[in-house]
Amino acid sequence: MQTLEEKIIETKKIRNKTLVSFLFFFLFIASCVAAWQWLHRQPEDNGTPRPLRAVLNTNEKIFMSLFANNHLARSYPIKDAVPRVRVNGDAGMGDNFDAANWKLQLIRNIGDTQYISIDEIKALPKTEIIFDFKCIEGWSQVTHWAGVKFTDFVKQYKLDAQSQMKFVGLNTPDKEYYVGIDTKSILHPQTILCYEMNGKPLPMNQGFPLRLIIPVKYGVKNIKRIGSIFFSNERPPDYWYERGYDYYGGL
């Protein structure tokens, strides 16, 4: 049996413990708020506070070092491909586009641009891919595409010197949407310059006449309505990178 005195002491102990816990809880919350405020007082680097950008850059280095050409995105049987493919993103997809006179601008070097028609591209070996297309917004769907492997395009147009460079840049004809991709990823065997979806020419809102399909990357890098392609050792401008996402965009 506890004496009255012992009971009082025990109650006091519990009260002290509760107070200390509350104090710690309060300090914890306060330091979270302070850290958050500090983070947002830091200078920005392409749409995100500099410390967060540093984390993204480190992650990117790790992902790049793990990348391998024999690591394929999973492919699916044709019956799994959805018939109605979601349309997402319309930057650079304005109405004032002259599809009939479109030619791909292949910028081989500064001041040396080659113009390539869609028929010339369709004449190259055709590759199909059915894979799970993933958007950073959190949705994904199994979709079916066809076009020419980027490596076959490189072979056909003798871009050996260019493909030694670190990055490839792609722009829409109006330059409203643009992506930069590390050359290793664009030379991955599943990357295609794509002109067909579900066995038919690409619909206008999905990038007619030519888009990029790059299964090793998130949706953002799968640029629709390609206008020009160039090569560079510096990171080309990238639409979503400038809005705070990581540059690499790998899966």
Ligand X SMILES: Nc1nc2c(c(=O)[nH]1)N[C@H]1C(S)=C(S)[C@@H](COP(=O)(O)O)O[C@H]1N2
In the complex, which residues of this chain contact ligand X (CB under 6 A)?
A: 85-93, 135, 172, 177, 206, 219-220, 222-225
Please, which residue, 48 or 222, has the CB nearer to ligand X?
Answer: 222
Please, which residue, 183 or 206, has the CB nearer to ligand X?
Answer: 206
Near Mo ion by CB under 5 A, which window of 59-67, 166-174, 187-195, 211-219?
A: 211-219
Please, which residue, 219 or 227, has the CB nearer to Mo ion?
Answer: 219
Q: How far is the CB of 158 from ligand X (least distance, A)?
A: 28
Q: How far is the CB of 144 from ligand X (least distance, A)?
A: 12
Q: Look at residue 134 and give its three-state secondary structure.
A: strand
> Could you say whether residue 207 binds Mo ion (CB under 5 A)?
no
Q: How far is the CB of 244 from ligand X (least distance, A)?
A: 13
The answer to whether the CB of 179 falls within 8 A of the CB of 220 is yes
Interface mask (CB under 5 A) for Mo ion, residues 107-136, using x and -?
A: ----------------------------x-
Q: Identify what 168 binds: Mo ion, ligand X, none; CB under 5 to 8 Å per kind.
A: none
- 194-202 contact pairs (CB < 8 A, 24+): 194/145, 194/146, 194/147, 195/118, 195/121, 195/122, 195/146, 195/147, 196/145, 196/146, 196/147, 197/85, 197/143, 197/144, 197/145, 197/146, 198/81, 198/83, 198/85, 198/143, 198/144, 199/144, 199/146
Among 224, 210, 222, CA closest to 250: 222
The answer to whether the CB of 149 falls within 8 A of the CB of 206 is no
CA distance 196 to 250: 23
Please, which residue, 91 or 107, has the CB nearer to ligand X?
Answer: 91
Q: Identify what 225 binds: ligand X, Mo ion, none; CB under 5 to 8 Å per kind.
A: ligand X
The answer to whether the CB of 114 falls within 8 A of the CB of 97 is no
Q: How far is the CB of 196 from ligand X (least distance, A)?
A: 13
On the CB side of 156, how many CA atoms lie within 13 Å of its CA?
Answer: 15
Near Mo ion by CB under 5 A, which window of 164-172, 215-223, 225-233, 236-244?
A: 215-223
Interface mask (CB under 5 A) for Mo ion, residues 133-162, using x and -?
A: --x---------------------------
Q: How far is the CB of 181 from Mo ion (least distance, A)?
A: 15
**Backbone dihedral region for residue 35 (phi beyond 0: left; psi -120 to 50: alpha; all else: beta):** alpha
Among 122, 111, 89, 107, CA closest to 165: 107
The residue sitting closest to ligand X, measured at its beta carbon, is: 89
Please, which residue, 53 or 225, has the CB nearer to ligand X?
Answer: 225
Chain residues binding Mo ion by CB under 5 A are: 135, 219-220
